[in-house]
Amino acid sequence: MTPERPLAADANSPAVEVSKGASRRTYPSAADKPRPGGLYAAVDLGTNSCRMLIAEPRGSQFHVLDSFSKTVQLGAGLEASGRLSRASMGRTMQALRICQKKIESQGVTRMRLVATEACRRARNSKDFMRQIRREIGLEVEIIPAEEEARLAVISCAPLVTARTEQLLVVDIGGGSTELVWIDLSGVDPTDRARAIMGLHRGFQGQPVGGARVVDWISVPLGVATLKDQFADVEDDGARFALMSWFFEENLSSFSPYNAAQPREGFQIIGTSGTVTTVAASHLGLRRYDRTKVDGLEMTSDQIDTVIRDYLSLGPDGRRTDPRIGRDRHTLIMSGAAILQALMRIWPTDRLSVADRGLREGLLYAQMSADGVLEDGPKL
């Protein structure tokens, strides 16, 4: 749904007012009645990146008209200070001003802007949200980990196969990693994607369509935070091994971790810049092509081959590798460590690659709630 880009790019909010000169323009929000043919925007302000999509409903899907992605490193220094730094907030403000200009120029009628782990943890995040509202006019809400996990799950619904009875969706972020285990054994195979999208209602109680969340967890380790934990380990290979085992240790409270699960009917869907970069490296893409990556199925051996290649390159080689990109090279090994741990412990040797995530989930949720998607669940 997103246009080709270089590999390196990686419930209802109030009305939003945007300053422009001496006048102020009020943007419609998720609480306003949608206009037929109106455009939707979704902004994901994460620990490492600020990302945006602008799209219009089209059938049961949506068509992306504009996109934006910028590495802002909002969580830089957060581990040590517990606060968002002045420099990281400045970078983020610059990125959000670009988002605001795109939203205004496209005439967006509905939008939702969310912040995740870095802002959940930082002591000064609420002050930062007020600064964004005051200086740019955008309303950014800090969402809980459960909602972040739900949105990642529904974005991946179109990739669920008809034979899938047990599903694990993994979203590797900058500051955290969300895992959701879903039992689909009681759902008609032709209705599993629809049932998963119905989970936007929540992970508790009786979800729509029979999809049942067995368990979910938000591990406070993503590509940036895990990297920071082992920044003092000089040896590249040793650092990678330690990161992988440390991440696995943090999964001990996730109930399916110790459960015996059959290989048949089990599917893992991975969504993140790490997963798509590994897939692009496997395909040998020197320029990123979403149509070749989204929905690709990779085996454990193929993933291990790419990771071994990354390790053999070393930090200098990864820095100049066009398959990885300038914005990803310092984070790819922490992400690969998470990915390797997941493939080591779950009962499958295949991973479905998803070039989709929080932004797509936000768009699906808004459009489904408005009833503008054909044959989609009304959330």
* Complete edge-to-edge strand list for the sheet that includes strand 61-71: 61-71, 49-58, 40-45, 110-115, 140-142
Dihedral angle at the C-alpha atoms of 361, 364, 368, 370, nearest 10 degrees?
Answer: 100
198 and 150 in contact (C-beta within 8 Å)?
Answer: no
Strand ranges for 59-115 from DSSP E: 61-71, 110-115
Helix (H) or strand (E) holding 275: helix 273-283
| Residue 12 confidence (pLDDT) | 30
Out of 92, 109, 144, a domain closes at 144
Q: Which residues contact 227 (CB under 8 A, 6 or more apart)?
A: 243, 330, 331, 333, 334
CA neighbours within 13 Å on the CB side: how many for 378?
3
Which residues of the chain are under the pLDDT cut of 50?
Answer: 1-36, 206, 377-379
In a domain, 375, yes or no: no
In a domain, 10, yes or no: no
| Residue 19 confidence (pLDDT) | 32
Please count the structural domains in the chain.
2
| Residue 287 confidence (pLDDT) | 87
Q: Domain of 126?
A: 16-144
| Residue 238 confidence (pLDDT) | 96
In a domain, 297, yes or no: yes
φ/ψ of 93, rounded to 5, equals -60, -40
The CATH code of the domain that includes 108 is 3.30.420.40
In a domain, 323, yes or no: yes
| Residue 26 confidence (pLDDT) | 38
Question: How do residues 121-173 score in pLDDT, each as one tens digit?
Answer: 999 999 999 999 999 999 999 999 989 998 999 899 889 998 898 899 999 99
The CATH code of the domain that includes 175 is 3.30.420.150
Whether residue 116 is found in the same domain as residue 165: no
Residue 314 structure tokens: 């070393």
Whether residue 40 is found in the same domain as residue 133: yes
Kindly tell me the burial class for residue 211, based on how many C-beta atoms sit within 10 Å of its own C-beta (0-12, 13-18, 19 or more): buried
What's the rounded Cα separation, in Å, for the pair 341 and 352? 16
| Residue 325 confidence (pLDDT) | 79
Whether residue 130 is found in the same domain as residue 241: no
| Residue 61 confidence (pLDDT) | 85
What's the rounded Cα separation, in Å, for the pair 245 and 242? 5
Residue 120 structure tokens: 């959940």
In a domain, 3, yes or no: no
In a domain, 57, yes or no: yes
| Residue 262 confidence (pLDDT) | 60
Whether residue 184 is found in the same domain as residue 302: yes
Whether residue 195 is found in the same domain as residue 336: yes
Whether residue 115 is found in the same domain as residue 222: no
Whether residue 213 is found in the same domain as residue 313: yes
In a domain, 189, yes or no: yes
Whether residue 172 is found in the same domain as residue 305: yes
In a domain, 349, yes or no: yes
| Residue 32 confidence (pLDDT) | 47
Whether residue 307 is found in the same domain as residue 181: yes
- One-letter amino acid at 319 equals R
Angle in degrees, 0-180, between the axes of helices 358-370 and 145-155, rounded to the nearest 10: 80
Whether residue 247 is found in the same domain as residue 119: no
Whether residue 232 is found in the same domain as residue 171: yes
| Residue 294 confidence (pLDDT) | 94
Whether residue 193 is found in the same domain as residue 313: yes
